[in-house]
Structures are given as C-alpha cells and as structure tokens.
Amino acid sequence: MKIRLLHQDLSCEAEHGETVLAALARGGFVIDAPCGGRGFCGKCKVRIAEGAVRGTARAGQADSGGAGFVLACQAIPKTDITVELPRHDGFVRNEVDAVTRNAGAPVRAGIALDLGTTTLSAQLFDLDRGEALDTHSELNDQRIFGADVMSRINAAKNGKTGELFALINRQTEKTIKRLCEKQGISKIERLTVAGNTTMLHLFTNTDPSPMGEVPFTPAFLEARQFGGEELSLPAGRVTVLPSIAAFIGGDIVSGLASLDILAGADNSLLIDIGTNGEMALFHGGRIYCCSTAAGPALEGAEISCGMGGVTGAISRITRKNGELALTVIGGAEPRGICGSGLIDVMALMLREGIIDETGALDDAYEGGFAITGNISIVNRDVRQYQLAKSAILSGIKILCKNAGLSLADISTVYIAGGLGFFIDKENAIATGLLPGEFLDKIAVCGNLSLRGALRCLGEGDTAFLEACDRIIAKSVNIDLAADSAFMDEFAENMLF
C-alpha cells in the first residue's frame, strides 16, 4: 500500500501487515515514538486524510486529537492512504547561538559530532585557525524506533540495524552538508564522533543487540578509524571515540578527557543526566563508573505532555504573584515540557502539597495539574519522574559506596548534557534527583561529549586518543544490576 504525505510530494510503501509507523521509518520519515511502537505513549498520532486503516489504537488512545487521528504504531493500511504528520520542530537550542570567525572560508575544516540517544549535535571547526565556526543540533531521527537505547537495541535484535544505521547516516550527511553550505566550505577533512556505546555501534552499522542481554557484550569498545567513503559520508577521515563498557560510552570518555579529570581535583563526580544516567567518580587515581536506567523522562519522553529541549518546550516554571510563570525555549507558544521544566513543576507541586511524598496527587487534582492550555501533569508523569530521579540518586550513592566515600566527600559535581543549561539545582535537590550535599558543589558544563570530540579535532587524534586510553585504563565499571544494595536504594529513593 502507498502512504502519501499530505501537502508534500512524498510517499513510501507499506508492506503487507506493516504499520504506518514502520513504513514511515523505512521510508526515512521521522515522527516521535518514545515507547518504541508499543502503543501506549500516544505521541505517534497522525491524521488519515484519505484512505482507510485498521487496528488504529489501543483502548483509550484513539481519536484523542479528533476524528481521523490514529496512532501510527497501531494503524495498518487497508488501502492507499494520505497522512498528515504532526507538526515538528526538531532543531535544538544551540549551545553556541552566535559564532565569531575571521572572514573567508577555512582551508582545512573538521566537524565534531555528539550522537546522543535524543539529540545529534555538531560543531564545525577551523583546523588551521583552531576556532569553532558554527554549531547545529537537532533531535535524533532514530527516535521513531523509541526514546531509549534499549528500544534501539530491541529494534536491532528484530533485524532493524540497517534501518537504524540508514537514519543516522543520512542525518549525519545532511548535517555536514548544512554546515558546509552555510560557511562556504567545500570539504570536511576530519569528523570525530562521540556517543554512547549503542549509538556508536549503529553509527558504524554494527549490530548492538548482544548488549541487550547478559553479559551485555559490545562488538567493540576501542576507537575506530574510517575513510569517509566507507560510511558514505562527505569527510576525509572519521574517528569514532572509544568507550569503557556497554553502557559507559564514548560520550563519557570524551567528557572526562575534556575535563582533564586525571589532572583535576580528587573526588570529582561527572553526571550525564539523560536516558542512561551515566556517571563517573574520580577518587584515589581511579575512575568509578556506572550507568543507571533512568529512562527517557528527563529527555521529555514517556511524559504525557513531554518533549525534547526544542522550540516550544517549557524549560522553567515558577509561581509569581499566584500565577505560573513559564520560560519557553525560542520564545514560542508552549507546546510541551522538557526535562528541566519537569523538575521545576515537580518541586512546585511538592511545595504546594499537590503531590505528597509518595507521589500521589491530591484529590482536587485527580485529572492532573494544569500548566497552560492542554499541557498538564498527570499521575503517570509523576511516577515516571520518580523512577528517573530514584535511578540517578541511587546510582550516585552506590558509586560513592564503591569508592569508599560519603556524599559530603564529593568536591565537585559536573552536570553534563543539555538539561544542565536549564536545570534549577535547588529544585533538583528538593525533588530528590540530586542529594542536598551537592548544593554548593555543582558546576553546569553543557555538552562535554561534544567538547571532547572538538578537542580531538584541535589536538589531533593521537594525543586525544592517548588521553582517552589513560582514562579507560583507570576506569572501573560498577554493574548496578549485580549490586544487591542498588535495589534497596532504588526503592527507598522513590519517595520525595
């Protein structure tokens, strides 16, 4: 069956019995599907303008947006159809909103690339002048297969590695070309890539499915070098940065190297608050690492009104003169709430008694806590936040325990990732995402993964990879699933 896109001269083919979501994914069309096509997040909703489908949605999910709306992950074409995709602004707020550079295109240029589960971020770099030229970020097109790495791994297990590779490969190529065209650059000499272990596997068209079950075995952890033509990318040489373990990836290694962690203060803790909740603690010449299954709530997924940190996302929420005051990314009309806004509203609901320490909503808010328009927080959203914050806090405590430290012993806490730009540390502590002992020790440092990849361009592969190897040699991976104390901590930390 043919699937046409409304108002666009574009189409794809759906195989017999294939859902609209799966057909769109094969055709390279991206819509949000945080639950990985399991039918319960409700975010892959599309409108059927022409034609008929069957199996449109599970009970309670159908037609929530009006007549003709179905869940793409549940709808199977019965005839040729025309669909209207949801409005989407996938561009993320850049960390470098304006870049100053000398006139004239560089003779030699490179690109540093951070492949996050949620976001792809790239920075163009003048290799001769040693300066950044431009930055571009957007949501990862692979989100059509789910919001977290386990969804991507499960998709690969079901034979979708090639499709996942094609999505990120095509998106990387477009990003390179966009940056080059904007700056008048004819070619990219080098591309350095950091990301979690799963994303680096998919970037290199390597099946990550063995990481989905015990003993969580990656196909590779070491740095890899490619000619651009090997990956069908317009770059002379591609360097994929090394990882530590299946769930401690090249993004953490890159971040630790960019901090020069081994030359820094003892008892320094790096936390990348994202889907995986990766963290690393430097103590006594060793780096203790772990990854917690925080889930994608803090990336805006698995939240009923959640979205990534893109234009239209509510990033800050406060109460002023009895009214809610909202900060919206890009100054646009609010369309949803991202992770930092979620932290704020949870703290506000706690302070005002709208939720209790168990996370239960007051009876007066049985239908949810309204923020603005149709954006509200419901009981399931609170529970998703509790799961995420408990995973992060429990991971921190177990990491300290393995290093023989108390929370008060930590000297500096580096918060990495896009969430750090908007996070209110008092609210993060009030809701139990971070311990109170960290209040005056937090340093927000943005996208350290991208910063490390950029340093690899500036310093050269050899010097930077040697620094990465020194970090890896000092690293100890703590398997939280095998630590009996973790589940006790997790249960205790669920409470606010």
Type of residue at 438: F
The predicted pLDDT at position 209 comes to: 96
46 — pLDDT class (breaks 50, 70, 90): confident
The contacts of residue 28 (CB under 8 Å, 6+ apart) are: 12, 166, 167, 170
Which stretch of 63-77, 112-126, 190-204, 390-404 has the lowest confidence by average pLDDT?
Answer: 63-77
Query: Considering only 73-82, 88-97, 148-157, 278-287, which range has the smallest mean pLDDT?
Result: 88-97
- Could you read off the pLDDT of 230-275 as tens digits, one per residue? 999 999 999 999 999 999 999 999 999 999 999 999 999 999 987 7
- Residue 97 pLDDT exceeds 60: no
Cα pseudo-dihedral 193, 195, 198, 199, rounded to 10: -60
Percent of residues, the chain, with pLDDT higher than 90: 63
Q: What is the dihedral of CA 276, 277, 278, 280, to 10 degrees?
A: -170
- Which domains, from first to last, does the chain contain? 2-84 (3.10.20.30), 109-240 (3.30.420.480), 250-295+385-493 (3.30.420.40), 297-381 (no CATH)
Query: Cα–Cα distance between 5 and 50 in angstroms, integer?
Result: 10
Q: How far apart are CA 383 and CA 387, in angstroms?
A: 6
pLDDT in tens, 434-456: 999 999 999 988 889 999 999 99
- Residue 255: DSSP 8-state: H
Q: Which of 482, 479, 472, 476 is nearest to 221 (CA)?
A: 472
Kindly state the percentage of the chain with pLDDT values over 70.
92
pTM of the model: 0.85
Closest among 269, 290, 313, 265 to 416, alpha carbons compared = 269
**Are the CB atoms for 125 and 94 separated by under 8 Å?**
no
Mean pLDDT, the chain, integer: 88
Mean pLDDT of 291-299: 82
Retrieve residue 402's tokens: 């393995």
Q: How far apart (Å, rounded) are the C-alpha atoms in residues 467 and 257?
A: 6
β-sheet bridge partners, residue 112? 123, 192
Each residue of 7-20: pLDDT tens digit? 777 788 888 888 88
pLDDT class of 105 with cuts at 50, 70, 90:
low
pLDDT at 96: 40
DSSP state string for 469-486 = HHHHHTEEE--GGG-HHH
Report, as an integer, the average pLDDT of 63-84. 76
pLDDT for 402 beyond 70: yes
Which of the residue ranges 42-51, 125-134, 158-167, 415-424 has the most confident prediction, judged by mean pLDDT? 158-167
Mean pLDDT, residues 349-364 taken together:
96
Q: What is the distance between the alpha carbons of residues 354 and 277, in angstroms, rounded to a whole number?
A: 27
- Of residues 306, 304, 374, the one with CA closest to residue 337: 306
Q: Grade residue 88 by pLDDT with cuts at 50, 70 and 90.
A: low
Average pLDDT over residues 457-472: 94
Q: Is 261 exposed, middle or buried (0-12, 13-18, 19+ CB in 10 A)?
A: buried
